[in-house]
Amino acid sequence: MNIVQKYGGSSVESIEKMQNVANRIIRKKEEGYDVVVVVSAMGKTTNQLIEMAKKITINPSQRDLDMLMSTGEQVSISLLSMVINARGYESISLTGFQAGIKTEGIHTKNKISDIEIDRVKKHLSNGKIVVIAGFQGMNEDGDITTLGRGGSDTTAVAVAAKLECVCEIYTDVDGIYSVDPRIYPNAKKIESISYEEMMEMSSLGAKIMETRSVEIGYRYKVPIYVASSLVDVKGSLIKEYDELMENKSITGLTISENVLMITVINVPYSPENISAVFSKLASKDVNIDMISQTSPNNSLVNLSFTTSKDEEYTVMEVMTQLKNQFAHIEIQKDIAVTKVSVVGMGMKNQSGIAAQVFKLFADNQIHFKLVTTSEISISYTINSADKQKAVSILAEAFNL
């Protein structure tokens, strides 16, 4: 039977930690599994590599950046494979390309288009433990690509989908909590959570799983088990929704501080102008999250939108172009905003959650700027200074 195990950066940050990871891998092998291991770069390596690039330019070639970032995972696969081999078990390290991971899209945000899994299967059938570099692949032009931050999760789940097996994600927390335990230490561990809820939580900022990885899990029905690489306690399972899952209106609360809020003031009101703003952003692949528009006043409107802080350079470039087009507009940039979201399948057939949150915010003098909803979530942008207060109030009110 096959199994895929993924170990994140903190789980392989030192040789000592790799020895610990090797224990777990070897245990599975001894239990009779054919083991595929996906690893991230050691510790904070990826951040350090990006910092190095930033010392040269704030806008490096994205192809070069992919080339640079992909080296992190190459260090960890080679070392981990050496550790396993030194323990007397046969192992082989493979880069994303060698593992058959084909990608498409724009550099630093590539998506896996397919995996030619034969090479991995061959090594498994020869009894080897296969150690694959997460986060990377190769595009049609033969260039090295990366899958977006946190992308090793995606590699792991995609490989598990291809091998039709379970995917275990080992990290520095012992499961999925209703709230990031670093922000709200009283958060409760979730025994099992639906793909839909986890996808929503991830896309709204819960870093524990990369969004795309959960999407792939959902599509290919890969059971994903999230647990600690350090302690042996029961983790959390991401799986298909069923009636037995805890019946709360809200399952989780997520916080995203990676929010850039832009307000464009005095845009001459016409559907074409509004569309021009967002088309320009879309043409640069900027992912817009929340949008609001004031009603026309003297035929002028104000537009606000949020995106990730990583897009600041591109967004400001587009804003400069807009200023050339509309001489009288004014641009405001706000980075001291935090997005707080509540997520739960229970919201599908329960109304009044938004009203409840509005009241809690009003009673506690928390001002929100933008609000968006989906079928199973509601998000609010608030001043970053109010973050802790908002989290505690919501967590207590919804018993998270």
DSSP percent split of the chain into helix, strand, coil, nearest 5: 40, 25, 35
Answer yes or no whether residue 176 interacts with ligand ADP by CB under 6 A.
yes
Identified binder of ligand ADP from the candidate list 2, 4, 5, 9, rule CB under 6 A: 9
Rg (CA), the chain: 23
The full DSSP string for 307-325 is: E-GGGHHHHHHHHHHHHHH
Give the C-alpha separation, 396 to 358, whole Å.
15
Per CB under 6 A, contacts with ligand ADP among 14-43 are 40
Whether 156 contacts 38, CB under 8 Å: yes
Count CA atoms closer than 13 A to 176's CA, side-chain side: 29
Alpha-carbon distance values, 97 to 69, 127, 137, 178, 282 (Å) = 15, 21, 5, 36, 30
Per CB under 6 A, contacts with ligand ASP among 369-388 are none
Q: Determine which helix (DSSP H) or strand (DSSP E) holds 118, and give its type and residue range.
A: helix 118-125
Answer yes or no whether residue 109 interacts with ligand ASP by CB under 6 A.
no
Identified binder of ligand ADP from the candidate list 112, 117, 131, 173, rule CB under 6 A: 173
Identified binder of ligand ADP from the candidate list 97, 177, 368, 398, rule CB under 6 A: 177
In the bound complex, what is the minimum distance in angstroms from residue 11's beta carbon to ligand ADP? 6
Per CB under 6 A, contacts with ligand ASP among 126-155 are 134-135, 149-153
Only segment of 38-46, 158-166, 351-359, 382-390 that touches ligand ASP (CB under 6 A): 38-46
Q: Residue 177: which of ligand ADP, Mg ion, ligand ASP, none does it interact with, CB under 5 to 8 A by kind?
A: ligand ADP
Tokens of 240: 């298909």
Identified binder of ligand ADP from the candidate list 70, 171, 338, 341, rule CB under 6 A: 171
Handedness of CA 182, 187, 191, 196 (dihedral sign): negative
> Residue 327 carries which side chain, given as an amino acid letter?
A
Q: Residue 346: which of ligand ASP, Mg ion, ligand ADP, none does it interact with, CB under 5 to 8 A by kind?
A: none
Strands 129-133 and 34-39, bridge-based pairing: parallel
Answer yes or no whether residue 252 interacts with Mg ion by CB under 5 A.
no
Region class of 129: left (phi > 0), else alpha (psi between -120 and 50), else beta? beta
How many chain residues interact with ligand ADP (CB under 6 A)? 18
Q: Which residues bind Mg ion (CB under 5 A)?
A: 8, 150
What residue ranges bind ligand ASP (CB under 6 A)? 8-9, 40-41, 46, 72, 134-135, 149-153
Name the site residues for ligand ADP (rule: CB under 6 A): 8-11, 40, 150, 171-173, 176-177, 180-182, 206-208, 252
